């Protein structure tokens, strides 16, 4: 990682975030439960070359989250009870993501720990009160999930660009199952997986699986270099099988039930007439067709 370049990018992002947000936060700071205050902090490295304090320390030491107050101002009023400083909660949302917490429960447990949560509390400006799962849930409900996710994605992408987060680290089978991931069955999640190319042979194979009664339609990973990496990483004895991706999952419909809205999409994706497909509906999949057939 080029630390100087990362700090430069962080400063530019801080500047961009200061310009468009000018709405004052309506609630007086005497009624804030926490008080976030950004200040650049020293960044040191361990003997192994990792950032002392983890990725969240690097983010908190270089990125200013004060803009969150302006961004969230419309969701709060001048009256009412006390609240956490939105900048505090926004930083903690990002910290949990860049440090790889799979859920808020584990993060909140560590946040309360005297030693493990000290850096988080310090960077977020927490004092006696420590937010729990309900605090984050209410914050997202008040502000809106989409606003938080879109803004957080910018900061997380900065970490990805500098190699601080890699897909094969943060993506696991356990995480893929309950989410809106594009596929299941492979934990590698490389950049190319955002668009999976389907040639005619692959479409034909998927159609045959569906017509034979399969509820999960699987395709072989289309990226040879990833196949080699996964096979080497999972090989124990003998010849490991090629990794497969469960691209679609379906469930059968009763014969007398009307076809689901996804039926035409599925027929188009597989390249077969609708009347050749059994009556099924997609369960967790979301289909979209790219300009090149991906």
User: For the chain, what are the domain ranges?
Assistant: 3-165, 191-282
CA–CA–CA angle 278, 283, 287 (5° rounding): 85
Q: At what angle do helices 86-98 and 133-143 cross, to 10 degrees?
A: 110
pLDDT of 284 reads 62
- pTM equals 0.55
What is the Cα 75 distance to its own chain's centre?
A: 24
pLDDT of 239 reads 62
List Cα–Cα distances, 30 to 39, 84, 100, 191, 194, in angstroms: 21, 11, 33, 46, 46
Block residue for tokens 């690097």 = 58
Q: Tens place of pLDDT for every residue, the chain, 294 residues? A: 567 887 888 888 888 777 776 778 999 999 999 999 999 888 888 777 778 888 899 889 999 998 888 888 888 988 888 999 999 999 999 899 888 887 888 899 999 999 989 999 999 999 889 999 999 999 989 988 877 877 777 777 777 766 665 554 344 333 333 333 445 556 566 667 777 778 888 888 999 998 888 888 888 888 888 777 767 766 655 566 667 777 788 888 887 777 777 788 888 888 888 888 888 888 766 666 667 766
Phi-psi region of 116 (alpha: psi -120 to 50; beta: other; left: phi over 0): alpha
pLDDT of 166 reads 53
Q: How far apart are the first and last CA of the chain?
A: 33
Q: Please count the helices (runs of H) and the strands (runs of E) in the chain.
A: 13, 3
**Rounded Cα–Cα distance for residues 276 and 261 (Å):** 16
| Dihedral pair phi/psi, residue 247, rounded to 5° | -75, -40
CB neighbours of 20 closer than 8 A, spacing ≥ 6? none
Which three-class secondary structure state does DSSP give residue 15? helix
pLDDT of 173 reads 39
pLDDT of 11 reads 86
Block residue for tokens 């009023």 = 77
pLDDT of 31 reads 92
pLDDT of 181 reads 41
């Amino acid at each position: 990682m080029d630390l100087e370049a990362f700090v430069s990018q962080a400063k530019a992002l801080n500047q961009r975030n200061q310009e468009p947000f000018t709405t004052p936060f309506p609630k007086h700071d005497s009624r804030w439960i926490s008080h976030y205050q950004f200040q650049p902090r020293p960044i040191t490295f361990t003997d192994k070359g990792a950032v002392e304090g983890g990725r969240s320390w690097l983010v908190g030491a270089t990125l200013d989250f004060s803009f969150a107050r302006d961004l969230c101002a419309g969701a709060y009023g001048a009256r009412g009870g006390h609240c956490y400083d939105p900048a505090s909660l926004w930083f903690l949302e990002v910290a949990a993501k860049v440090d790889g917490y799979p859920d808020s429960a584990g993060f909140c447990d560590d946040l309360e720990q005297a030693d493990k949560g000290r850096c988080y509390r310090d960077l977020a400006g927490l004092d006696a009160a420590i937010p729990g799962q309900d605090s984050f849930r209410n914050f997202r409900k008040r502000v809106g999930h989409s606003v938080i996710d879109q803004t957080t994605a910018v900061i997380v992408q900065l970490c990805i660009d500098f190699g601080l987060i890699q897909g094969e680290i943060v993506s696991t089978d356990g995480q893929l199952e309950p989410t809106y991931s594009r596929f299941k069955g492979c934990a590698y999640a490389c950049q190319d997986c955002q668009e999976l190319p389907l040639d005619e042979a692959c479409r034909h194979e998927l159609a045959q699986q569906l017509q034979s009664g399969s509820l999960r339609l699987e395709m072989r990973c289309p990226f040879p270099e990833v196949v080699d990496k996964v096979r080497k990483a999972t090989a124990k004895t003998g010849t490991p099988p090629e990794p497969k991706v469960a691209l679609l999952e379906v469930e059968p419909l009763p014969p007398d039930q009307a076809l689901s809205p996804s039926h035409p999409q599925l027929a188009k994706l597989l390249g077969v007439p609708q009347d050749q497909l059994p009556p099924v509906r997609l369960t967790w999949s979301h289909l979209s067709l790219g300009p090149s057939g991906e």
